[in-house]
Amino acid sequence: MTEITTSQQLPVDETFSIPVSAASLDRAAEALSANGFTVRVVDTAADARRLVNEILPTDRAVFVSTSETLRNSGIAEDIDGSGRFNSVRANQADWDLRARYDEVRRTRSAPDVVVGSVHAVTEDGRLVTASASGSQLAPYASGAASAVWVVGAQKIVPDLETALRRIETYSYPKEDARAQQAYGQRSVVAKVLITSREVVPGRATVVLVREVIGF
């Protein structure tokens, strides 16, 4: 990332902010199921919040990746702030994260459960996630024993080419603006994870939300 002193805005393709049709969402759900993911479809972000609270274990370490979807829905606060869950972030709240970097890296790369979102879902059942640091990609890919992703309907796209374009022209500019405001730094698309299939039965759950949530 590059440090900045004033906010610099990238153009945003707002066509990627529009939720897809019910038929498109159903195609994605069916393809994800065929590719080994457990799929749950809900109507609203509030429904997704209730579902995640129901399905998450309370006796296993849960790591919440940085996500506007989880922040805006209240899921992140439920996990990290309620005291009900064994939250990795909450357990490390008083740590000197720089001094204990290796321990932070290990615990966050291989938690029992990772909860997050992705930047695109293709209608043929692939999940596409971009990252500046890559920190959430390790647990997403295999580090976590189980994974839960909450995904708004505006993130469903026809194919992989469109998914990558969505990242470059919508998700990245949005995250870049957020990073400038939150950290005083620019973001960057440094690493992209394409998850085409889940081979471990029951490991990965995708919660598709029929409304817009996150970016």
- The whole-number average pLDDT for the span 169-196 is 95
Q: Which two tokens stand for residue 25?
A: 């969402």
- Kindly write down the DSSP assignment for every residue of 82-148, as one continuous string: SSSSEEHHHHTTTS-TTTTHHHHHHHHHS-SEEEE--SEEETTS-EEEEESS-TTHHIIIIISSEEE
Structural domains present in the chain: 14-209 (3.40.50.10420)
Q: Name the pairing type of β-strands 61-64 and 113-116.
A: parallel
pLDDT tens for 21-42 read 999 999 999 999 999 999 999 9
pTM, two decimals, is: 0.93
pLDDT tens for 80-126 read 999 999 999 999 999 998 899 999 999 999 999 999 999 999 999 99
Residue 185 or residue 53, greater confidence = 53
- The whole-number average pLDDT for the span 176-194 is 94
For position 4, what pLDDT does the model report? Answer: 41
- The whole-number average pLDDT for the span 43-58 is 98
For position 8, what pLDDT does the model report? Answer: 78
What SS3 state is found at 213?
Answer: coil
Residue 206's identity, in one-letter code, is: V
Report the residue count for the chain: 215
For position 194, what pLDDT does the model report? Answer: 98
